[in-house]
Chains A and B, each alone.
Chain A
Amino acid sequence: MSLLELHSISKTFPGQRALSGVDLAVAAGEVHALVGHNGSGKSTLIKVLSGFHQPDAGSGPATVDRQELRFGDPEGAQAAGVRFIHQDLGLADGLSILDNLKLGSGLYRTAPGWRIRWREERDDARARLDALGLDHLDPEDDVGRLGAVERTEVAIARALQDEEGVRVLVLDEPTAALPDEEVGRLFALVRRLVARGVGVVYVSHRLEEVFDLADRVTVLREGVVVHSSAVAEIEQRALARLIAGGEIAAPVRATPRDADAAGEELLAFEDVWTDQELRGASFAVRAGEVVGLAGLSGSGVHDVPRTLLGGAAVSRGEIRVGAAAVRVLGPTEVAALGVAVVPAGNHHKRIAGLSVRENLTISDLRPFWAGGRFRHGVERAEARSLLDRFGILPREPERPIELLSGGNQQKVYVARLLRTRPRLLVMEEPTQGVDVGGSADILRFIAEAAREHGVGVVLCSSDLEDLAGVCQRVLAFRAGRVAAELVGAAATREAIVEECYLAEGGPTHAVAS
């Protein structure tokens, strides 16, 4: 019998089945990789195990060492020896490593008068770090100044405080924030734990890590286990196909793919390096085409909108808008050149406190300024016509923006920028958190803007359906550069995943239909 066993776990959210009858078994001294695309149910499964989510009735049992776990009971999971390192490590910057280690476990050792016995605490922390092979960490260092690996190491050390009690360690994408060369140190630590008989559940997007570290692999897709085997029994490319779901019917393309109809060049990145993720990215976007950018987190995809908005500094290379090289980047600077960027994340777009009407018109108020006064009637009329054209519901321009559904809010942000008549539209995760109908509408607006108005569109999305459905070309990013270009019918969901997940090393190449 395995160390950790989950039987038939199901979880339904309102309107969506996240997990259906998932089984997972992790043996002692084994690294079990859990892989799957965004929304496949990985995090839901982890959160059921941690007691954060209560699974549907009829799920279970879940056992650790033959002892049954109660669902929805975080303390129970803790007591059973299951520890979690979440992607957000939950460290307190500004406190020392020692204090952070103590955060989880509660009490300091005190002398009379509640005076902390610092010397003993320091020795303790030192011993604990040494035992984990983390002798390069000083317990007195400020956690806020540590690098990404050290932070992950501190989080692990904290999770393993009472080491003898730890049976299962769950790592949720621990390397997402780590540069490649430092992942090795983390792996060494994981291997030490495994050697002591701890079972490790390792959630990752990076397939090369799975092959490097894991003994077994389980693939989730749409809440179902589609594959589970020893890593040795499967090949990397086959695994990528399993994640993407090869048998899914090709989506209907929203736009005709007239490669020759593309117009003048609107945006070009030429060997662009930034202080964040881009490492020599080159690509160009022309008028009237929809270009998809795909890639895992850290691959540089999200650095493209970020760089245009001035959030990442270009250290090398050139960004051209139209024919001219652009030196100073930022929302107003690129807007002046006819480039509209819709970033991801509601807090970057939602101006709560203003009405839907005011949110729609804020990017360009000039049409309403005439004869020394603000023409509120003209503004209301335009807001209403935007609500109609973009199908934003309810049709109440005076409603506070925060009372709209996610999909309708997103439509407001798309409409906000499209009404400024940009020549190039850059959208980051436009359908994230948007229901199916809303997503279809938004993609339709994008396709229409490109087809009928000659707008060039850059679509940075982790939703492969969107990319495959609407883009004439999809550029797959890996390690900060464009690793592959998929043109036309070659840009299938499956092909995109394969290019994004592939290990490093292959030369840049183009795949044409």
Chain B
Amino acid sequence: MISADNKLGVIFFPAYDWAIDATHPEREERLLYTQDQLREEGIFDISGINEYKPEIAAQVDINRTHFCYPNVEAVTTESHLIAAGGAIKAAQLVMEKKVDKAFAIVRPPGHHAMKVVHGNRGFCNINNEAVMIEYIRETYGQCKIAIVDTDCHHGDGTQNIYWHDPNTLFISLHQDGRTIYPGTGFVSERGGPNAISKTINIPLPPQTSDSGFLYVIDEVVLPILEDFKPDLIINSAGQDNHYTDPITNMSFSAQGYARLNEKLNPDIAVLEGGYAIQGALPYVNLGIVLAMAGVDYSHVREPDYDPEKIRQSTKIDVYIENLCREIMDQYRQPIKPVGQEGDFSSRSKSVYYDTDGISDEQTEKVMICSACAGLRIIESRSSVHDRCLGIEIPINACPRCQDAGHRSLEDAKNAMRYRFIKLINRVDREYQTFNQEELSPLSKYFF
């Protein structure tokens, strides 16, 4: 019998009765062949690899992480709560030392879901990794966590959620935003004023293959991880960099994914995208499971695998070398202070929920703070819910940011300008919604 070097927990939840719609890539069939492959390989007979049932995430787990308008029920289905619950289960297993590592092979995915949620964008409603990370911090205490997003699409949702958090390092490797959804994730996106260089973007050219990805891991990801010294490493394990993926343009293989995982050595991996459900997912998932468990994966390859066919050009070699050098130079530059301590730094952005056709104009303010992640206030005006305000007092907030948060809440309530006011108060574990329509039936006429 084969025995695993690392005890691995696999949470497999394929949601065989849930789809965005019948022919959507995010449909019932997506993990069917992955399950067939894992079963046929006898994965769960390997001593040390065990399968676990997901939890169902509670409302509070979502409300701790997101501002959902008007509420969690309206923007999620049970399937979303189970996918997030699968990630939570992975965290429980690892944090309670029942396993060394865990892999949540769950759907639907989550990494395009931002702090504010009005609906579905990029197949995502709630951010599975963020819900999990905040569950970890709430349950087991504050810790430094690194998320390495290896999905082909920029993890813009996760980036948005952790933009200001100096205790969360977010690194995204993805196909260059100039060539693919969601069109972001450039080198210049480096994190908010309280968390500069805690966001790292590595936009790769189309046709990047195994050698390019592994080069980036060696030259950028591992050195920055070494510098950050996280307590936990999370892999947002999207599988759509595969050479057969129907909606992307990369040339990554199952061997490459397994090797990447081995180098990265994550504590927890959570499945994100990946839509070559027959030609890629069965082999990539198998490769990742074996790599995480420390079992020989050298015979895992796609039936049509031909390393010559997917080899990247020397032009791409050079491009990636230069890119990595640029990112590391920028990373090593001394960080200039931005703005005055205690001032608000603000930015505005438009967010489009492509699946649900919702547009949202957001203005975000964060208090510049050297003692905590800073009070965060997001005003959101979407095509479905106008006049929304979210106030977040971050975990371990300093007294000033706490006070400012409570004041902002009172001011907002008194202003009578908002339809919904949401409070995330991580210090006192309060997650509240103030629905103001009833209070002031006339207020809508003032807007």
Are A and B bound to each other?
no
